[in-house]
Amino acid sequence: MILTNELFWNALKDSGSVDESRGMQLIELNAGNSKLITFSKNHSYGEYIFDWGWADAYERSGIPYYPKLTSMVPFTPATAPHFWGNTNDWPELLRKHDELLPRHSSAHFLFTTKEEQMFLTENNYIPRLSFQYHFFNENYSSFDDFLGKLKNKKAKNIREERRFPNFEIERLTGSELKESHAEEMYNFYLMTLSEKKGIPYLTKDFFHQLIRDLPNNILYVRAGNIAGAFFYYDDKTLYGRYWGSRDFIPNLHFELCYYQGIEFAIEKKISVFEAGAQGEHKIARGFRPIITTSAHKINHPLFAQAIADFIKNESQEVLRIIEELSKLLPFLKENSRHE
């Protein structure tokens, strides 16, 4: 899995994308042949499981919320293992992790696997529900086969959105990737952050190192030198990550970030395409609302109870929203549910 590949994490570390100058100290814990990576953080940026309201409540009460412990794949809202290795080592890893808690306000495991969520809940972490939109490859033979499973009007809309007669759109991976593509994508990344007033945590070296060390796990989709979208992938999952454009071209974002990804997943027989956080507009394009999970431990007893109550109500609302969103799926009736 690319998100637990040492070369991926080396790119994050060696490029200076996750160092203390960015308000996050990487902590690596070991037990047996297993590993757990967490961060001591002075902010909540790049997490996608939002706790800004909790931090604000602490601040209004005169209690520091930062630093906090956060285990995650930095700047990547994707479900991936936190505990690497043998499950027998998990209790020892968590014991070492929780020994760090007295020097932090709280601990957070973001985008946990099903097994991890159960384990953390059993160890007095508060389970939290969120949701994303994922595309599931139902053994489609082609993009047209996928469209054939949609309601006619929805399929027609997608075909119309894919018309770009003035652009040559390329999908590049493996030996097709060049250093110039890393440079180009980094500039697109900066454009998007500038537009959203975001913080450029990832450095230029990160993109160069990924293309150099993991070219067979990188997909770069570009429309000339106008726009580009950057993906990670392995044999099971495609992860949509970064996008940028020099000009606003109607529907070009949908083409590069969604439709090219769907087409690539179908061609490579990749089971799931996680297109990133948020975006109800993804539903009309074949993405389903899917529950994601996280687990939290809060040191302060009064805040721990208040946050647990908040999460309980929030989880009920998440389930209600998913039920309502599922009614908007564009699939024909026999394809409307995904088990």
Residue 193, pLDDT score: 77
Domain boundaries, the chain: 2-132+289-335, 134-286
Q: Which of 21-25, 163-167, 256-260 has the lowest mean pLDDT?
A: 163-167
pLDDT tens by residue, 56-114: 999 999 999 999 999 999 999 999 999 999 999 999 999 999 999 999 999 999 999 99
pLDDT at 334: 57
pLDDT digits (tens, 9 = 90+) for 158-210: 999 999 878 899 999 999 999 999 999 999 999 887 776 677 889 999 999 99
Among candidate residues 277, 318, 309, 236, the one with its CA nearest the CA of residue 73? 277
Which residue in 30, 80, 77 sits closest to 49, CA to CA? Answer: 77
Band of residue 337 on the pLDDT scale cut at 50, 70, 90: low
pLDDT of residue 165: 78
Q: List the single range of 133-137, 198-202, 215-219, 243-247 with lowest mean pLDDT.
A: 198-202
How many other β-carbons are positioned within 10 Å of the β-carbon of residue 152? 10
pLDDT at 335: 58
Residue 44 CB contacts under 8 Å (≥ 6 apart), including other chains? 50, 51, 52, 55, 68, 70
Among the listed residues 49, 41, 47, 38, the one whose alpha carbon sits nearest the alpha carbon of residue 93? 38
- Please tell me the distance from the alpha carbon of residue 80 to that of residue 88, in angstroms, as a whole number: 19
Question: Cα(76)–Cα(81) distance, rounded to whole angstroms?
Answer: 13
Could you tell me the two tokens for 125?
Answer: 């972490």
Q: What angle do CA 331, 248, 200 make, to 5 degrees?
A: 95
Instruction: Give domain 134-286's CATH superfamily.
Output: Gcn5-related N-acetyltransferase (GNAT) (3.40.630.30)
Q: What is the pLDDT of residue 336?
A: 52
Contact between residue 187 and residue 204 where contact means Cβ atoms under 8 Å apart: no
Q: How far apart are CA 42 and CA 85, in angstroms?
A: 28
Q: Tell me, which fold does domain 2-132+289-335 have in CATH?
A: Aminopeptidase (3.40.630)
339 has pLDDT over 50:
no
Predicted model pTM = 0.93
Q: What percent of the chain has pLDDT over 90?
A: 87
Count Cα neighbours of 147 within 13 Å in the Cβ-side half-sphere: 16
Do 274 and 76 touch, CB atoms closer than 8 A? no
Task: Write down the mean pLDDT value for the chain.
Answer: 94
Q: What is the pLDDT of residues 284-305, one digit of tens each?
A: 999 999 999 999 999 999 999 9
Closest CA to 129 of 274, 335, 321, 325: 321
Q: Looking at the predicted structure, is the pLDDT value of residue 239 above 50? A: yes
Of residues 196 and 258, the one with the higher pLDDT is 258
CATH topology match: 2-132+289-335 vs 134-286: yes
pLDDT at residue 226, rounded to an integer: 93
- Tell me the one-letter amino acid at 259: Y
Of the chain, the end-to-end C-alpha distance in Å amounts to: 23
